[in-house]
Amino acid sequence: MGLREYVIRRLLQLVVTFWAFFTLLFVLFRLVPGDPTSMFILDGMTPEQREQRIAELGLDQPLHVQYVEYISQLLTGDFGQSFIYREPVIDIIIVRFMNTIVLMGTALFFAYLIGLTFGALMGWWRGSKFERGGIVVTLAARSSPEFWVGIVLLSVFVFWLGWFPSGGMRTTGGELGGGFLARYGSTDFLRHLFLPALTGAIVFMATPTLLMRNTMLDVLNADFIEIKKAEGLPERTVLYRHAARNSVLPIVTVMAIATGAAMGGSVVIETVFNWPGMGREMVRAVNSNDYPVAMAAFFLMGSVVIIMNFLADLAYVYLDPRVEYE
């Protein structure tokens, strides 16, 4: 089977996975124990209002009709109205989602860039002071709570040095609107982004670093590494082109899952830095029974995980010629 067939088949699988995920969400939100309608009914409604509301939401329909209705709404991106904001859910959630993607994407990018490089070097210089020191630093970063890292960075860079703003996404009064670049490319925004992204990077870095070091140690024992050295190739070439290139393979999947999970946003980082992202929004929605928003948030997060897994599989096939297209 060729690459093209493989991709097509994976795409079909993707559709099936999404369908299963939609259904699961439906089941979770409609068939929870107790009266499902109670979630949608606010206190202090008269019985007539209740009836009307239930009819409005289509909850008086048979389950299969509700299901079909639900799927078609998801596919058109219609998540209904937020109970709290009285605005379409999609408008609320999309902005938060983009904010999170930018923050977490930046954090993950640097976490993996630095983590993979350091992990590779730690494996390469096994037994050196660099490796031992690196492990200590990595473990320290791994065991530091996010809020603590955030607060330390805040006190040093904001309250002491005064280099960065203390929170939020942009200085009040800074013009909003315009395209993506105008929103997320301005110096003001980048200054706001720096500390929360750094916090995320520090927290996320441990996994790729330690994993990379471990797989490096395995790969460095492989015969071909010795041959590459015997060939007289420079250390740099053997390290990056051969050892690290092979070591990165098992990390691709981990990276995809981590990315998926991170897109849910980090409540802690968003709270410490007052970042208007998905994590905080989700907690708020759940706490205030803003069911449509919570559901949309779950939907987006789950979708990202599924898509990242799909991309990881494609990347793996691209990176490792040994993978059979099965």
Partner 1 sequence: MSLLEITDLKTYYRASDGWVRATDGVSLSVDRGETVGLVGESGSGKTTLAKSIIRLFPKNAEIVDGSINYDGTEITELTDRQLRKQIRWSEISMIPQNAMNGFDPVYTVGSQIVEVIRYHEDDTSKKEARKRARELFNELGIDPDRIDDYPHQFSGGMAQRAMIALALCLSPNIILADEPTTALDVVIQDRILETIKEKQREIDSAMIMITHDMSVVSETCDRIAVVYGGRVVEIADAETIMMSPRHPYTLGLRNAFPDISDEDKDLISIPGTPPDLVDPDEGCRFAPRCPFATEECWEVTPEAEDYGDGHMVECHRADEIEYLQEEAAKKETWMEQEIGRPDETPPEVTSDD
Q: Tell me whether residue 107 or residue 219 sits nearer to partner 1 (CB atom).
A: 219
Q: Which two tokens stand for residue 61?
A: 């329909």
Task: Tally DSSP H helices, then E strands, for the chain.
Answer: 15, 0
Q: Tell me whether residue 228 or residue 280 sits nearer to partner 1 (CB atom).
A: 228
Q: How far is the CB of 240 from partner 1 (least distance, A)?
A: 12
Q: How far apart are CA 210 and CA 215, in angstroms?
A: 9
Q: Which stretch binds partner 1 (CB under 8 A): 191-199, 209-217, 244-252, 301-309?
A: 244-252
Pick from 199, 209, 246, 266 the residue near partner 1 by CB under 8 A: 246
Q: Which two tokens stand for residue 42?
A: 């606010």
Q: Tell me whether residue 70 or residue 124 sits nearer to partner 1 (CB atom).
A: 124
Q: How far is the CB of 131 from partner 1 (least distance, A)?
A: 12
What spatial distance separates the first Cα and last Cα of the chain, rounded to whole Å?
8
Q: Which stretch binds partner 1 (CB under 8 A): 100-108, 135-143, 243-251, 287-295?
A: 243-251
Q: Which two tokens stand for residue 140?
A: 């320290």
31 binds partner 1 (CB under 8 A): no
User: Is there a contact between 108 and 199 (Cβ–Cβ < 8 Å)?
Assistant: no
Q: How far apart are CA 193 and CA 187, in angstroms?
A: 10
| Residue 301 bridge partners (DSSP) | none
Q: How far apart are CA 118 and CA 79, in angstroms?
A: 43
Location of structure tokens 């007052």: 274
Q: Which stretch binds partner 1 (CB under 8 A): 59-67, 207-215, 282-290, 314-322?
A: 314-322
Site string for partner 1, 247-266 (x = CB under 8 A): --x-----------------
Pick from 48, 179, 321, 326 the residue near partner 1 by CB under 8 A: 321
Q: How far apart are CA 225 and CA 247, in angstroms?
A: 12
Q: Taking the CA atoms of the chain, what radius of gyration do you get in angstroms?
A: 24
Q: Tell me whether residue 233 or residue 286 sits nearer to partner 1 (CB atom).
A: 233
Question: CB under 8 Å to 237, separation ≥6 — which residues?
Answer: 228
User: Angle between the 187-220 and 146-153 helix axes, to the nearest 10 degrees?
Assistant: 130
Q: Which amino acid is at 315?
A: A
Q: Tell me whether residue 2 or residue 232 sits nearer to partner 1 (CB atom).
A: 232
3 binds partner 1 (CB under 8 A): no
Interactions with partner 1, residue window 178-237 (CB under 8 A): 222-224, 226-234, 237
Pick from 19, 55, 91, 245 the residue near partner 1 by CB under 8 A: 245
Q: Tell me whether residue 124 or residue 299 sits nearer to partner 1 (CB atom).
A: 124
Q: Tell me whether residue 9 or residue 241 sits nearer to partner 1 (CB atom).
A: 241
Q: How far apart are CA 278 and CA 106, in angstroms?
A: 15
Could you count the other beta carbons within 10 Å of the beta carbon of residue 316? 15
Q: Tell me whether residue 144 or residue 253 sits nearer to partner 1 (CB atom).
A: 253
Contact residues for partner 1, defined by CB under 8 A: 127, 222-224, 226-234, 237, 242, 245-246, 249, 319-322
